[in-house]
Amino acid sequence: MTTPIITPPRAGSVDVADARPRFRPWRLVIGVLLALAVVQLAVFLATNDRFEWGVVAQYLFAPSVLLGLLMSLMLTAVGMVLGSLLGTALAAGQLADFAPVRWACVVFVGVFRGVPPLVQLIFWYNLAYLVPKLAVGVPFGPELFAWNTNDVITPLTAAIIGLSLHEAAYMAEIIRAGILSVDQGQRDAAKAMGFSPWRTFSRVILPQAMRVIIPPTGSQVIALLKGTSLVSVIAMGDLLHSVQVIYNRTYEVVPMLLVAVIWYLVVVTLLTLVQRRVEARFNRGLARTTRARRTVQRLEAAA
């Protein structure tokens, strides 16, 4: 068994390992003020009878509210999937060498990012005013298939179309920024090693681009979930519309809005936790590289 050799500190020298953080009085004051604010808010929520927490508990798990929550989640999932697929195509189009395709994609992104989603939803819901009949056929020629627009554009289809197109415009910019964040040298190195274009994209470009794409995509999912509350204006039965139907009958507006707030906060918190796990997974290699670089820097500084 070997005995470790401990070198005693020299007389008068200061060991930084024994250093203690400096006392900062302003941090203590700010901490106390924040604690008092939290206590005051908790007392306000608990003692104000107008919140009617009993009504909140009564309707929190009501079947109509849960159905509205499921509809909001379904719209979020469908809108995100369709928006991501279309956004990927739009991002590829904006990076294409063929100018007409690039211009068309740029215009699409500019229009659907510039128009508020509420306006888009109302527009798609009233599409029959402009186009009474939807037809498929030869341009300026005979029609092969035709449908009545009012039969096709229901509140559900209008909500899916409006949310998906709006989401696609934002996802196109996020994906395009992620792809452009990868250094050109990575592509050149993959080409020099004989990688095919698809292998270069899937094995070199995409893994690095995902580190840039994932954080804003997670924020977009959360924004889309909250954006589903807009579909209530076209009589779509989402979470907000479900509580509106109840408080229009019972006149208990505040407690029913609290029911919606609680469910939105629960779902957003869960989505945030999932987003953090996905970000950590794609940053594993980067974290190891960062730690290794810092270790080298410390060793160089100590030498």
In a domain, 39, yes or no: no
Predicted model pTM: 0.78
Residue 173 is predicted with a pLDDT of 93
Give the three-state DSSP class for 146.
Answer: strand
pLDDT in tens, 21-36: 777 888 899 999 999 9
Structure tokens, 75:
């719209």
| Band of pLDDT at residue 157, cut at 50, 70 and 90 | very high
Give the mean pLDDT of 211-224. 89
In a domain, 1, yes or no: no
Print the domain residue range for 78: 51-137+145-292
In a domain, 8, yes or no: no
- Greater model confidence, 150 or 270: 270
- Residue 230 makes CB contacts below 8 A (sequence gap 6+) with 117, 118, 121
Strands 133-137, 143-148: pairing kind: antiparallel
**CA 100, CA 194: separation in Å to the nearest integer?**
31
Which 8-state DSSP code applies to residue 141?
Answer: S
With vertex at residue 260, the alpha carbon angle to CA 254 and CA 266, rounded to the nearest 5 degrees, is 130
In a domain, 105, yes or no: yes
CA neighbor of 240 nearest in space, from 65, 91, 93: 65
List the CATH number of the domain containing 246: 1.10.3720.10
Are 193 and 108 in contact, with CB atoms under 8 Å apart? no
CA neighbor of 182 nearest in space, from 95, 240, 243: 95
Structure tokens, 208:
């690095």
The total of other beta-carbon atoms located within 10 Å of residue 250's CB is 12
**CA 299, CA 55: separation in Å to the nearest integer?**
63
In a domain, 65, yes or no: yes
Choose the most confident range, by mean pLDDT, from 4-18, 155-169, 225-239, 282-296: 155-169
| Band of pLDDT at residue 11, cut at 50, 70 and 90 | low
Domains of the chain: total: 1
In a domain, 230, yes or no: yes
pLDDT in tens, 256-288: 999 999 999 999 999 999 988 888 877 766 655
In a domain, 60, yes or no: yes
Give the mean pLDDT of 188-209. 84
In a domain, 27, yes or no: no
| Band of pLDDT at residue 149, cut at 50, 70 and 90 | confident
